[in-house]
């Protein structure tokens, strides 16, 4: 997360060019843009539409369908907390309450200092070590409120 | 001679510190001037023992676990490189009862080899299935898969060979093999383990499928929640290309097969095969009505095999050892092995591959050692978010497609999520509807609207508002969703909801949270003051 670039139309156009030849290129392009900038800027919609010969509505419809794609920049770090059944059985609801209270934000929101976005996720495939979270793409299992505090603090300290 | 030390790179192992352990072992060895080869293997699937470190000795591999970074120096002191005793020693890995009592066919190599070493893959019987397949006519490969009795491991349990046969019999200028690796069910991680621990077996299985049905292009649709699996798959595919196992001339056969791994984007519905195809084509993951079957008109309108990852990863051993070998495992119409994934509130969570037919009880107690919290087990959900909640009295159910169906449950992808006695089944039923509302693709009304109405009705039931009528209404809604939904999401979400009501009625019959307020004017006033809009 922390290596995201600021939005740059030329770079975006270059990434679109790299991938537009693929069959079913839209998802790979959207992933590439989000990986580069952390979100998909609304101005990318017409660029993609024109590259793939789609309507703006079609591109927008795909972006809005998938939970992964964001249309505004997330915080510097991204914490995804699993809310699925396996993690529920090991107390993820309490974990989420703890994190929300501590950060003063709800799931799906970013802290006012823009340091951390907290999202819900349905299953990280780490169900034998519930409750599970993912911080900036790194998995963590058996996450107690204390462990969550530690993870959050170290991420925000590292900036 | 260099000692081989294994520290898993499986993301579950990483989630409890395997990376730090690997680094500590490397630096400790170098500061002591010891020559070790650090192998980053997949996981053996005994997650309560992760990070599980293994050392190769003259007596075979010796296991230590769970190893923390802090324990590494002590392990060196104790002489773990010679397999000597230590408090964390588990003895020879293969002798650990959890592993010893399994029948690992699909997972034969997982946790044993370096997942990215093609030479190790080949040395451990890899690509023998493909070699065998290349000596056969396509129809003979399809017949072998049919004879093996292999059924789709994604949940529906449709015979894999019959699906392949349809694609083989359909003439087209282009056919596709699609691997469904959108393992979204909570409580499952078998697909992830294969992608991270033995990716070549999936590549081999898909290549055999391609040769069997005369397809030349394959896609693996991997969920985005699995970034490690995605990267491992990408690297394994690149290695397979470099070594002539993919591309224009597969293993020197003159046959072409190209393979690419694509990333999903956090939509549970894309685990449904037609939604997955839509997503691969670059569209919203909305389901397609069937017919036409994907086998006739699938990806880009062409005949397509869509199989679950475990089904495809099981194909190589069927071709290698023979259809009869595989079919001889199992019970009734459920042949071969099932990969059970023990999850949730369980002491010894992990992957258990064994012949169909073990009871839920044996899986949870003989392997899983009961709940993690030590409290009594109260409910078990098998088959992911669309699976039924079973009470403790149902633990005698054998793990078999038909036995689960007979109890109005679903075996699904083999995930078993255990809950202790603190679980509130009314809350779980509400979550099922909420999940359906979040993940519905919106194509059909029963699922799109029904799920939201379902949350509201369950909220009223929990709040004790017209409870009897609302329970009847919920029953009616579930029946409508079951009969009227286009796919399994809306069509099966009534399973967890109705099973919760049927088996745990007491959780739906508690004094509602609103009732104390109604009886206590002070609480009511306090509530009003908090909300200025009332």
Q: Where are the domains of chain B?
A: 3-98, 118-327, 330-420, 427-494
- Cβ of residue A52 closer than 8 Å to a chain B Cβ: yes
Q: Name the residue among B322, B330, B429 with its Cα closest to residue B386.
A: B429
Q: Do A60 and A82 lie in a common domain?
A: no
> Is A71 contained in some domain?
no
Model ipTM?
0.97
Q: Do A54 and A116 lie in a common domain?
A: no
* Strand, coil or helix: B374: coil
Q: Give the gap in angstroms from C-alpha B76 to the nearest C-alpha of chain A.
A: 26
What pLDDT, on a 0 to 100 scale, did the predictor assign at position B533?
A: 32
Residues of A in contact with B187 (CB under 8 A): 84-86, 127
Q: Do A85 and A147 lie in a common domain?
A: yes
Name the H helices within B96-253. 97-100, 118-123, 128-134, 138-148, 160-169, 190-197, 199-213, 227-242
- Owning domain of residue A140: 77-158
Q: Do A85 and B184 touch (CB under 8 A)?
A: no
Q: Do A36 and A84 lie in a common domain?
A: no
Residue at a domain's end among A18, A38, A65: A65
| Nearest residue, CB atoms, A128 vs list B12, B266, B438 | B12
What does the radius of gyration of chain B's CA atoms come to, in whole angstroms?
25
Contact, B336 vs A79, CB < 8 A? no
Q: Do A84 and A151 lie in a common domain?
A: yes
What pLDDT, on a 0 to 100 scale, did the predictor assign at position B530?
A: 42
> Is A72 contained in some domain?
no
Q: Do A37 and A90 lie in a common domain?
A: no
pTM for the predicted model, two decimal places: 0.95
The enclosing domain of A132 has a CATH number of 3.40.30.10
B330-420: what CATH class? alpha beta
Contact, B446 vs B480, CB < 8 A? yes
CATH topology of domain B3-98: Glutaredoxin (3.40.30)
Phi/psi at B263 (nearest 5 deg)?
A: -100, 130
- Cβ of residue A130 closer than 8 Å to a chain B Cβ: yes
User: Angle at Cα A155 formed by Cα A151 and Cα A158, nearest 5°?
Assistant: 140
Sign of the CA dihedral A25, A28, A34, A35?
Answer: negative
Q: What is the mean pLDDT of each run of 10 residues along chain B (534 residues)?
A: 95 98 98 97 98 97 98 98 97 98 97 98 98 98 97 88 98 98 97 98 98 98 98 98 98 98 97 97 96 97 98 98 93 89 98 95 98 98 97 96 93 96 98 98 97 98 96 97 96 97 94 51 40 32
Q: Do A21 and A58 lie in a common domain?
A: yes
> Is A95 contained in some domain?
yes
Q: Do A69 and B224 touch (CB under 8 A)?
A: no
Instruction: Give, to the nearest 10 degrees, the angle between helix B467-484 and helix B445-462.
Output: 160
Q: Would you list the DSSP string of B12-48?
A: HHHTTTHHHHHHHHHHHHHHTT--EEEE-----SBGG
Chain B residue with minimum CA distance to A135: B15
Q: Do A96 and A45 lie in a common domain?
A: no
Q: Which of residues 71-100 of A touch B (CB under 8 A)?
A: 82, 84-90
Interface test with B, best of A86, A93, A96, A140 (most B CBs within 10 A): A86
Instruction: Give chain A's mean pLDDT.
Output: 96
Specify which residues A116 forms β-bridges with: A77
ω into residue B292 within 30 of 0, thus cis? yes
Q: Do A50 and A87 lie in a common domain?
A: no
Q: Do A140 and B15 touch (CB under 8 A)?
A: yes
Q: Do A54 and A111 lie in a common domain?
A: no
Q: Give the gap in angstroms from C-alpha A114 to the nearest C-alpha of chain B.
A: 23
Query: Considering its fold, how many domains does chain A have in total?
Result: 2
Q: Do A81 and A154 lie in a common domain?
A: yes
Interface test with B, best of A60, A69, A123, A148 (most B CBs within 10 A): A123
Q: pLDDT tens for residues B260-308?
A: 999 999 999 999 999 999 999 999 999 999 999 999 999 999 999 999 9
Count of other CB atoms within 10 angstroms of residue B66: 20
B452's enclosing H/E stretch is helix B445-462
CATH topology of domain B118-327: Rossmann fold (3.40.50)
- Cβ of residue A27 closer than 8 Å to a chain B Cβ: yes
């Amino acid at each position: 997360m922390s290596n995201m670039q600021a939005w740059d139309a030329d770079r975006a156009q270059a990434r679109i060019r790299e991938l537009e030849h693929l069959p079913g290129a839209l998802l790979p392009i959207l992933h590439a843009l989000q990986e580069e900038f952390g979100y998909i800027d609304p101005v990318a919609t017409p660029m993609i539409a024109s590259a793939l010969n789609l309507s703006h509505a079609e591109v927008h419809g795909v972006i809005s369908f998938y939970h992964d794609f964001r249309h505004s920049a997330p915080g510097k770090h991204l914490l995804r907390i699993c809310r699925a059944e396996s993690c529920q059985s090991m107390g993820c609801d309490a974990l989420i309450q703890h994190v929300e209270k501590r950060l003063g934000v709800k799931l799906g929101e970013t802290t006012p200092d823009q340091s951390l976005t907290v999202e819900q996720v349905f299953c990280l495939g780490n169900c034998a070590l519930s409750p599970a979270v993912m911080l900036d793409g790194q998995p963590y299992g058996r996450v107690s409120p204390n462990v969550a505090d530690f993870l959050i603090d170290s991420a925000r300290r590292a900036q | 001679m260099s000692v081989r030390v294994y520290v898993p790179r499986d993301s579950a192992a990483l989630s409890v510190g395997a990376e730090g352990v690997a680094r500590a072992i490397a630096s400790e060895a170098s500061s002591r001037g010891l020559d070790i080869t650090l192998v980053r293997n997949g996981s053996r699937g005994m997650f309560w023992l992760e990070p599980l470190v293994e050392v190769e000795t003259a007596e075979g591999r010796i296991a230590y676990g769970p190893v923390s970074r802090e324990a590494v120096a002590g392990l060196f002191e104790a002489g773990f490189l010679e397999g000597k005793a230590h408090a964390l020693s588990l003895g020879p890995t293969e002798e650990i009862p959890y592993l010893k009592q399994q029948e690992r066919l699909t997972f034969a190599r997982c946790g044993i080899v370096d997942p990215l070493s093609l030479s190790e893959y080949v040395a451990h019987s890899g690509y023998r299935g493909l070699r065998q397949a290349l000596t056969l006519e396509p129809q003979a490969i399809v017949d072998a898969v049919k004879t093996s009795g292999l059924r789709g491991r994604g949940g529906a349990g449709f015979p894999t060979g019959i699906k392949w046969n349809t694609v083989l019999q359909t003439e087209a200028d282009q056919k596709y093999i699609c691997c469904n690796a959108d393992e979204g069910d909570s409580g499952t991680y078998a697909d992830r383990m294969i992608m991270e621990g033995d990716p070549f077996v999936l590549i081999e299985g898909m290549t055999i499928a391609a040769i069997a049905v005369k397809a030349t292009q394959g896609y693996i649709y991997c969920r985005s929640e699995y970034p490690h699996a995605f990267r491992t798959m990408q690297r394994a595919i690149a290695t397979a290309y470099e070594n002539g196992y993919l591309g224009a001339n597969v293993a020197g056969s003159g046959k072409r097969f190209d393979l690419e791994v694509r990333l999903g984007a956090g939509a549970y519905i894309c685990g449904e095969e037609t939604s997955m195809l839509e997503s691969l084509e670059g569209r919203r993951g909305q389901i397609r009505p069937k017919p036409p079957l994907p086998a006739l008109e699938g990806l880009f309108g062409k005949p397509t095999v869509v199989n679950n990852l475990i089904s495809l990863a099981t194909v190589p051993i069927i071709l290698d050892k023979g259809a009869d070998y595989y079919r001889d495992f199992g019970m009734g119409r459920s042949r071969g092995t099932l990969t059970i994934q023990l999850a949730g509130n369980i002491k010894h969570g992990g992957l258990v591959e064994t012949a169909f037919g073990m009871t839920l009880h044996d899986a949870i107690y003989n392997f899983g050692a009961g709940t993690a919290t030590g409290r009594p087990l109260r409910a078990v959900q098998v088959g992911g978010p669309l699976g039924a909640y079973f009470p403790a009295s149902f633990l005698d159910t054998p793990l078999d497609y038909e036995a689960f169906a007979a109890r109005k449950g679903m075996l699904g992808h083999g995930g078993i999520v255990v809950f202790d006695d603190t679980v509130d089944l009314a809350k779980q039923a509400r979550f099922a509807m909420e999940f359906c509302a979040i993940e519905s693709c919106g194509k059909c009304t029963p699922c799109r609207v029904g799920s939201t109405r379902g949350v509201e009705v369950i909220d009223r039931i929990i709040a004790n508002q017209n409870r009897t009528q609302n329970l009847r209404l919920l029953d009616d809604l579930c029946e409508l969703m079951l009969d009227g939904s286009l796919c399994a999401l809306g069509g099966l979400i009534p399973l967890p909801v109705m099973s919760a009501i049927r088996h745990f009625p007491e959780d739906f019959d508690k004094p509602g949270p609103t009732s104390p307020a109604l009886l206590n004017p002070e609480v009511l006033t306090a509530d009003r003051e908090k909300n200025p809009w009332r």
